[in-house]
Amino acid sequence: MNRSLDTADVVVVGSGIVGLGAAYAAVRRGLRAIVVDRTDGPVGATIRNFGHLCIGAQGGEARRYADLSRDLWLRLSHDAGFWLRESGTLVAARHDDELDMAGTTVLDDGVVEQAFQRAAERTGVADRMPWDEALDYVRVTMGQSKIDVFTHLSGGDAESAARATAAFEGAYAEIVAEQGVSEIPGAADAIQGLKDAGLKVVLTTGFAPVTRDALIDGLGWRDLVDLALSPIDAGRGRPAPDLVLAALLRTQASSVQSIAVVGDTVSDVESGRRAGAGFVAGVLTGAHDRPALSAAGADAVLSDVSALRGVLVQRELLPLVAAS
C-alpha cells in the first residue's frame, strides 16, 4: 500500500476487518490505498473476535455473499501465508422434536400450489416451460426452500427467482387472508402432548419468516411451540440437513440421535436422514404418499401428527416421564 496520503486514491480510517477489507478490495481494483488507525497494534473489536469463521444462518443473496467471503479468506490465507484450517463442527445437545408446518401441522388444502400459480402468473418465472411441467416440479419439491424451487423454474435466473419468491409470499398471505388458516385436526393437542412429555417442539418450513410467522399468529401458536425456523435461519433449505441441525443447536439438544423429525414430504424425510436424526416419520396429511415417504427412508409413515406420541412411546423413544 502507498504510504503517502498525497498520492493515495483511497484513505481508509480503521484497520479492523471492515477497514482492511475495504482497502484490500480497492487495491484489487487497481487503486492506491492507505490505512490509518489510532494505534500501531491490534487492540480493537476485530482482534477480540478473531479465530473462527463459519457460514451461519444465511439464505438467498446473503448466503451467496457468505460463500464468497469464505472463498476470499481461503485465498487470503494462501496469498498472505497466515494459518487457516478447514474443519467441521461437532456439537453435543439435549432432547428435541422437530415438526414440519404446511401439510404436517398446518392444513395446506392446495394453498401452496395456488400461491405458486399466482406468483408465476404475476412474474412469468416459469414461462420457459409448460405450466403442467412447472406445477409437477412444484409438487415434487414440496417442502424445499421456495427460492430454490423458483431458481429452477427460472432456469437459474437469481433475480427472477427472488422476484417470484416475493410474489409467492405475497400471494400466500393474500390466500390466507381470504380463506383463513387451520391446523391439521389434532395438531395443537399433539404438540402440547409432546411438550407435556418433556420434549421441545420446533416447527420448520420452506416459507420465509414473514409467512411462517403469519401462519403461527393466525393459529395462535406463538406460545405453543418452542421455536420456528425457516431456511434463512439455518443456511440451506430441505432436503439439506441444516434446518434439523439448527433446531438441535438452538434447543441445545443432547445429540442428533435424540431428535425426531416429522413431515409430509420426501424432502422432510431426506433432511432428517441426512442430519442423522434418531427417528424420522412421514405423515399422510400433505404432499406425498406412503410409498414415496417410505422410499425416502422414513422409519414410520403415520396417518397424521396426532399419532406421533404413541409411536414414540411404543418405540421407547420418549423420556421416561412420557411413559409414566
Element (H, E) at 135: helix 131-140
pLDDT, residue 134, reads 84
- CA 287/CA 137 separation, integer angstroms: 12
> Whole-number mean pLDDT of the chain?
77
Entry pTM: 0.55
pLDDT, residue 61, reads 62
Contacts 24+ apart (CB under 8 A), 221-227: 221/188, 221/191, 224/188, 224/191, 224/192, 224/195, 225/191, 225/201, 226/195, 226/200, 226/201, 226/202, 226/251, 227/200, 227/201, 227/202, 227/203, 227/251
Q: How many CA atoms lie within 13 A of 142 on its CB side?
A: 27
pLDDT, residue 55, reads 58
pLDDT tens digit string along 183-231? Answer: 778 888 888 888 888 888 888 887 778 888 888 888 888 888 888 888 8
Listed in sequence order, the residues at least 6 apart from 320 whose beta carbon sits closer than 8 Å to its beta carbon are none
* Residue ranges of the chain with per-residue pLDDT less than 50: 1-2, 48-49, 57-58, 88-98, 103, 320-324
Q: Residue 213, SS3?
A: helix
pLDDT, residue 57, reads 46
pLDDT, residue 209, reads 84
pLDDT tens digit string along 36-53? Answer: 887 776 666 555 445 556
